[in-house]
Amino acid sequence: MILFLDFDGVLHPAVCTSDTELLCRRPLLESVLRECPQVEIVISSTWRESRTLPQLQALFSPDVGVRIIGITPLWQDVQDETSMGTYVRQAEIEAWLRHAGRTWEPWVALDDQPWLFRPFLPNLLRSDPVTGLTEEVCATLRQRLHGA
C-alpha cells in the first residue's frame, strides 16, 4: 500500500495565515500512519519541486520520515508518456508506479485538489483546503489504508 501525499490543503490549510500553521496537521497524519506500518509514502506535493528527498523526510518525525520512499516525477518529464490530459497529479502518480514497477499495488492519494485527478477516482481521498486534514478524513484514511 502506497500513500501519495500532498502538503498544501492537507498537512495545513491551503492558505496559511502564519508560519506556525505550516504542517500543523502533521501529528494527525502521523498517528494514522503509525497504526498502518505497512504503508509507504511518496510525496506528490509541489513541495518536492524545491526540496530534496532527505529535506522532505526531515519535515516529519524520524519514524515516519524513513517511510517516505520517493517523490513523484514532474509533469514536464512524464507528459509524453501519458494520455491523462489535465489530470496532472494522477498522471505523475501513475508514472511513478510504472517507473517503480508497482502498477498493481493498491494506493491512496491524499489531496485537496480533485481536479488534478480523473473524476470519481476511487483512489483519491480529498481533504478540505480550508482546514487541511481533519479527524473525519483521518477516519476514512485509516479504513482505506487498512483495506489492502
Enumerate binding residues for Mg ion (CB under 5 A).
6, 8-9, 112
Which one, of 136, 93, 87, lies nearest residue 116 by Cα? 87
Residue 84 C-beta: closest distance to Mg ion, Å: 18
**Residue (2 or 109) nearer to Mg ion, CB:** 109
Q: Are 11 and 29 in contact (CB under 8 A)?
A: yes
CB of 45 to Mg ion, least distance (A): 7
Least separation in angstroms between residue 47's CB and Mg ion is: 10
- Name the minimum Å distance from CB 122 to Mg ion: 19
Cα 52 to Cα 48: distance, rounded to the nearest angstrom: 7
The Cβ of residue 114 has, within 10 Å, a number of other Cβ atoms equal to: 15
Q: Residue 51 or 102: which CB sits closer to Mg ion?
A: 51
CB of 14 to Mg ion, least distance (A): 6
* Of 123, 101, 121, 98, the residue nearest 110 (C-alpha): 123
Cα–Cα dist 110/16, whole Å = 19
Nearest to 45 by CA among 100, 105, 16, 3: 3
21 vs 102, beta carbon nearer Mg ion: 21
CA 124 to chain centre: 10
Q: Which is nearer to Mg ion, 8 or 92 (CB)?
A: 8
> Of the two residues 78 and 133, which places its CB atom closer to Mg ion in the complex?
133
